[in-house]
Chain A
Amino acid sequence: MNQNKHIPLLQVKDLGLTIKNRKYLFFHKKVEILKNINFTLEKGQTLVLTGDAGSGKSSLLHILNNPDIPHSGEVLVYGKPLKDFERRDRVGFIRLLSSDYNNAINPHKRVNFILEQPLKINTDYSTVQRDYRIDKILEYVGLSSSIKYSYPGFLTSNQMLRLAFARALVMEPEILLVDSNIEKLDAQLRSHCLNMLLDCQEEKDTALVICLNDIGLIKHIADNILVLSQGRQEDYGNAKFIISKPEKEITKRLIQDYNNEYRIRPER
């Protein structure tokens, strides 16, 4: 994978997803979940997916995470289809960060096991190398390495969030996918999570794809924004530009709904 400036890191062309809603034996209804999605993602950039509920944000994220889901169109990484990569390469390349850490981390396994498993499956590292890697990643996210032999149940919410980060970053991915559970975290933890994402982007030049509904947060972290509605791509471009001068109906409505009368604007 040589870095050529003209080839973007991630390119999605004409992506579509259709599922069959089966009823009885012979009848089925075709439902289009996604249609004609096009975007590119450069290194160190942030793309935010937004839209109404049921507009296909998380389906798009799932396809990026697992290209084995049957879909039409192409997902290209450095100009090469993602499907053609070997599984172990691809898995290390794009990682999903589940910010719903309470449900995403297996409570019956020790921290060491949770972090070691992806390395064991996807790399040829020896035990010593794996240990070294785990220690390094724990130090990076700010956990002490003595935590390795405890169960996730002993950790506080802040440490659990860091563990989720560690698990996502163990394989040193170039693209990090973040699901929309980040909005359900409480205000303190959420800003903590955002800070860590920004840190990661700054130091390792990771590209981020995030599902978000909150326009205030989008304004803060996004470079590009992709607005979806009913599985169709409505708006795509620079976030600052689109939010300050929305043109499409749906974007206007989303921004108007966000700036509702129940939100205080402090004069400061």
Chain B
Amino acid sequence: MLLDIRNLSIQLRSETSYIQVCKNFDLMINDGEICSLVGSSGSGKSLIINAIMGMYGHDMKVTMDYFKFRDMDLTNLSVAERRKILSSEVAIIFQEARASLDPELPIGVQMRASLGSHCFDDKWYRWPLWRYRVVNNILHKVGIKNTKQVLRALPYQLSEVLCQKIIIAMALSRKPKLLIADSPISGMTSTSQVQILKLFHSYVENSKGTLLYVTNDLGPASNLMDTIKMLYCGQIVESGPKEQVINCPHHPFTQSMINAIPEFNRQVKLKMKLDVLKGDPPEFTKTPIGCPLGPRCPHADRECNTMPPIVKTKNGFFRCYYPLNMEKENESK
């Protein structure tokens, strides 16, 4: 077990009180696994990552029962101490690439600076040249051809996609134990998407890394993932291995995420309307009583006014009173 978090809860401070964003959140990631968190925007994905990494200020209150990273028990450490331990072993790819680069330093300087001495194990006199070599290599791997120009450029001179690639290169060059990627390939062309996904794949296979892949779309990377956790309103509503979740989803939210991709459904004809859930995701100040999907769910009934219990399936679980596709599951048994 690489990462084990139990009962994480996050509260955000508002003017008068604290708002509960996430409650009873458990996350367990095995060594060498690609785990993915899938949720629509505003479901608290990025907040959860920030809470795990200890990147928050006084406006956020985070409590958890148990936090274990590799063999270290970090439950009772302060935020600063936890950050210190995690920083050398975990790398994060943030959502807004250009915003997470320093606007005043050339790309090359930033990339070399991120390669700390803990990534280096060789003779001391190789140190200065080693950094240049590593940076060049990784940029080629990400698919940037004119490295010289890019390394000299400032972030505002590059396109958003290039910045994204540079952030990915930076994170991978440090050879982290755990890589957290927050929608890394959104907005790219399919050619670069494949390149990046191949890179992630080889990182997990060859350098024994672990990947926590956070995304809002099941389409492009679904076959890369090992387990899928569907997140809605700060709560995991369904979890399981990828074949099970995609081929026979039990929760209505998972089904709607799958229906949003025209290719996943053979019955969709050219220019037909895609079916979506009506309304929008609730705000955290006004979460509905009982099942969070309640007001938008097409299958809702009176029972849904109370919190649905966890129902265990073969390798995962879901939270719903009226699950879909149950016959399919029974057939396969």
Pick the contact of A188: B161, B256, B266, B270 (CB < 8 A): B256
A194 touches B274 (CB 8 A): yes
CA distance A192 to B276 in the complex (A): 7
- Say whether A23 faces chain B, with CB atoms less than 8 Å apart: no
Pick the contact of A195: B161, B191, B193, B273 (CB < 8 A): B273
CA distance A265 to B277 in the complex (A): 23
- Say whether B186 faces chain A, with CB atoms less than 8 Å apart: yes
- Say whether B247 faces chain A, with CB atoms less than 8 Å apart: yes
Which of A8-16, A59-67, A131-139, A208-216 forms part of the interface with chain B?
A: A208-216
A181 touches B187 (CB 8 A): yes
Main secondary structure of the interface of A (DSSP, over half): helix
How near does chain A come to B97, taking the closest CB pair, in angstroms?
Answer: 12
Pick the contact of B190: A185, A213, A261 (CB < 8 A): A213
Which of B78-86, B122-130, B212-220 forms part of the interface with chain A?
A: B212-220
CA distance A159 to B223 in the complex (A): 33
- Say whether A124 faces chain B, with CB atoms less than 8 Å apart: no
CA distance A190 to B221 in the complex (A): 17
B161 touches A260 (CB 8 A): no
Q: Mark A249-260, 1 if CB is under 8 A from B, else 0.
A: 000011001101
- Say whether B157 faces chain A, with CB atoms less than 8 Å apart: no
User: Which residue on B lies nearest to A50, using beta carbons?
Assistant: B189
Given contacts A53-B189, A214-B190, contact A186 B262 (CB under 8 A): no
A191 touches B263 (CB 8 A): no
**For chain B, which range describes its interface: under 10, 10 to 19, 20 to 34, or 35 or more residues?**
35 or more
CA distance A24 to B236 in the complex (A): 57
Which of A76-84, A114-122, A164-172, A217-225 forms part of the interface with chain B?
A: A217-225
Chain A positions 35-71 with a Cβ under 8 Å from a chain B Cβ:
51-54
Contacting residues, chain B, for A217 (C-beta < 8 A): 262
Contacting residues, chain A, for B258 (C-beta < 8 A): 266
A184 touches B186 (CB 8 A): yes
B191 touches A52 (CB 8 A): yes
How near does chain B come to A25, taking the closest CB pair, in angstroms?
Answer: 21
- Say whether B188 faces chain A, with CB atoms less than 8 Å apart: yes
Pick the contact of A220: B40, B217, B218, B262 (CB < 8 A): B262
How near does chain B come to A264, taking the closest CB pair, in angstroms?
Answer: 4
Contacting residues, chain B, for A185 (C-beta < 8 A): 41
A257 touches B260 (CB 8 A): no
A258 touches B279 (CB 8 A): no
B280 touches A264 (CB 8 A): no
- Say whether B110 faces chain A, with CB atoms less than 8 Å apart: no
A187 touches B262 (CB 8 A): no
Contacting residues, chain A, for B259 (C-beta < 8 A): 191
CA distance A213 to B185 in the complex (A): 12
A188 touches B186 (CB 8 A): no
Given contacts A157-B280, A191-B276, contact A198 B271 (CB under 8 A): yes
Contacting residues, chain A, for B220 (C-beta < 8 A): 262-263
Chain A positions 64-118 with a Cβ under 8 Å from a chain B Cβ:
none
CA distance A8 to B175 in the complex (A): 57
- Say whether A18 faces chain B, with CB atoms less than 8 Å apart: no
- Say whether B324 faces chain A, with CB atoms less than 8 Å apart: no
Contacting residues, chain B, for A220 (C-beta < 8 A): 262, 268, 270-271
Pick the contact of A186: B40, B187, B264 (CB < 8 A): B40
Given contacts A157-B41, A195-B276, A260-B197, contact A187 B261 (CB under 8 A): yes
Q: Mark B143-176, 1 if CB is under 8 A from A, else 0.
A: 0000000000000000101000000000000000
CA distance A188 to B42 in the complex (A): 12
Scoring A54, A191, A192, A267 by chain B CB atoms within 10 A of each residue's CB, the highest score goes to: A191
A187 touches B217 (CB 8 A): yes
A262 touches B263 (CB 8 A): no
- Say whether B300 faces chain A, with CB atoms less than 8 Å apart: no
- Say whether B192 faces chain A, with CB atoms less than 8 Å apart: yes
A53 touches B188 (CB 8 A): yes
How near does chain A come to B188, taking the closest CB pair, in angstroms?
Answer: 7
Contacting residues, chain A, for B268 (C-beta < 8 A): 220
Scoring A215, A240, A262, A263 by chain B CB atoms within 10 A of each residue's CB, the highest score goes to: A262
Pick the contact of A262: B217, B223, B270 (CB < 8 A): B223
Contacting residues, chain A, for B275 (C-beta < 8 A): 191
- Say whether B224 faces chain A, with CB atoms less than 8 Å apart: yes
- Say whether A268 faces chain B, with CB atoms less than 8 Å apart: yes
Pick the contact of A216: B193, B219, B246, B271 (CB < 8 A): B219
Q: Mark B257-301, 1 if CB is under 8 A from A, else 0.
A: 111111111101011011111011101000000000000000000
- Say whether A234 faces chain B, with CB atoms less than 8 Å apart: no
- Say whether A189 faces chain B, with CB atoms less than 8 Å apart: yes
Given contacts A217-B262, A260-B197, A262-B222, contact A183 B280 (CB under 8 A): no
How near does chain B come to A85, taking the closest CB pair, in angstroms?
Answer: 30
Contacting residues, chain A, for B281 (C-beta < 8 A): 156-157
- Say whether A180 faces chain B, with CB atoms less than 8 Å apart: yes
How near does chain B come to A202, taking the closest CB pair, in angstroms?
Answer: 9
9 nearest A-B pairs in the assembled complex, by CB-CB distance: A186-B216, A158-B280, A187-B260, A191-B274, A220-B262, A191-B260, A216-B263, A264-B222, A258-B190
A-B contact pairs, 14 of them (CB 8 A): A53-B161, A181-B187, A184-B186, A187-B216, A187-B217, A188-B257, A188-B277, A189-B41, A195-B273, A198-B273, A257-B189, A257-B193, A264-B222, A266-B264
Q: Other than the known A187-B216, A187-B257, what 4 A-B pairs have Cβ atoms closer than 8 Å?
A: A188-B276, A214-B219, A260-B193, A262-B224
